[in-house]
Structure 1
């Protein structure tokens, strides 16, 4: 007879997409979990502590046990991060913004949890990728998130042409992003490289007071002015 699984669970905790009140966009279940848990795997300790403080002001910061998971984390460290789960404690994964595991190093932690037999629990919260698609008016039945485009000008042009062709061939919405300080340059590239009739959504500062989401043709964007510098932005295109 097999013994019951007494492992803790790995919870994927969504965070805000900017400096707004967390409880404006997060369900009470997120607060309930943070109130009762001290073990967290985070992308950035400083911002994670600030987020936890906003959610649970009375929680002791000294009692928190935070492990850092980012592009510098050695793969061999990941197993240690799950030790509290193996000892029966629930652990939360906190990304810098939005939902862990999507365009985020948390996916590695989730994969290891599955391999180890630890239950993974995704919690509800804002995903800039899905919110941008929802607000785009484009095909929500078939879409692809392509992450960051190449920095090299020639490679970027090739990638955009490929995305446009894929959209035409498959009827598929193509979603991508850029480092915020390069957003204005990317918008210039989009309007010069893509076909005039291709639809393009620019979705920036999603869920914040200054939120801006517009869908226009590339031709219309060529005569539009919007400053995206250092503003988190998702781009969606659909060509036909």
Structure 2
């Protein structure tokens, strides 16, 4: 157990999670600016992008790059500095750290090392879009970016289609038309949807309608800017679909063999699936499966 008291004197440094504006610099908070000035180091998703922000607010703290391509080596380096008493702020290109960036892995590493993690409130694209969408704001489900491959994307949409809550996606301009097409196939063309682009910026725009109507808009418009997509939940969906428990009649070995035969999986893949369903460790399933070999 690790009980954190964020504002007591620490024997180590502190990791501050500092949100940055998603478009409008006036959304930077006084506390966020002060924190960036006071920490010893800023871990930035893109140092060039963050430097523009630092210059605007007259912040002279040093930066270090921290993104998905170098996070494995960087986390150890950052933990070492934190353990040495240095305070570090982590920022993403825009919005909340840990959302669609490697910040979560750093947070987990800090918690495992007994280092305090202090979040600052601030700009967030998903909630900003949700409250102005006109769709039910609660309950809601945040998903983020859909998978790139069509097969995986359709599978993800099929799972989302089971949910009764409003759900939130992020999407890039060059993929939007294909995503809308797949939504029409999986969710149906009458489902309500809201596209939110250029949030907090001069050309902020909300496109509200059915999937069919929004598809038509996309076909006749030059798609620009990053999108936040808010989708009406399935009124007939359920968070708790009826679960197939027939596997309880099978031994672990029989369960693995069932997956191998029915879904044409290799033993390694089947063991992984069985472990997930039975809430067991993969090593335990592996041992039981090979027990009679």
Q: Tell me the TM-score normalized by structure 2.
A: 0.69
- 2:167 paired residue among 168, 171, 174: 174
Structure 2 gaps of 5+ residues are: 1-8, 236-293
1:126-165 → structure 2 map (5 Å cutoff): 126-164=123-161
Query: 2:10 aligned to 5, 8, 18, which one?
Result: 5
Unaligned runs of 5+ in 1: none
Match of 2:263 in 1: none
Query: Is the 1:184–1:228 Cα contact (8 Å) retained in structure 2?
Result: no
SS at 2:175's partner residue?
helix
Write 1 or 2 for the structure with the bigger share of strand: 1
The alignment partner of 1:40 has SS state of strand
Residue of 230, 233, 236 corresponding to 2:227? 233
| Equivalent position of 2:19 in the other structure | 14
Specify the alignment match of 1:115 in structure 2: 112
Asked if the contact 1:176/1:234 (under 8 Å) is kept, the reply is: yes
Cα displacement (A) at 1:139? 3.3
CA distance in 2, matches of 1:184, 1:28: 39
Max Rg structure: 2
1:186 aligns with 2:179: yes
- Secondary structure of 2:217's partner? coil
Hey, what's the Cα distance between the residues in 2 that align with 1:33 and 1:155? Answer: 40
Q: Once the 2 structures are TM-superposed, how far is the Cα of residue 85 of structure 1 from its aligned partner?
A: 2.4
Equivalenced residues, count: 225
User: Root-mean-square deviation (CA), in Å?
Assistant: 2.3
- CA distance in 2 between partners of 1:25 and 1:33 (Å): 15
1:86 maps to 83
User: Aligned with 1:181: secondary structure?
Assistant: coil
Q: Is the 8 A contact 1:34 1:55 kept in 2?
A: no
Q: Distance in 2 between matches of 1:222 and 1:79?
A: 46
Structure 2 CA distance for aligned equivalents of residues 52 and 38 of structure 1:
14
Q: Deviations over 1:173-196 (max 9, x none)?
A: 121122333224433443455313
User: Which residue of 210, 215, 240 maps to 2:203?
Assistant: 210
- TM value normalised by structure 1: 0.82
Quote the residue 1:44 is aligned against: 46
CA distance in 2, matches of 1:201, 1:142: 17
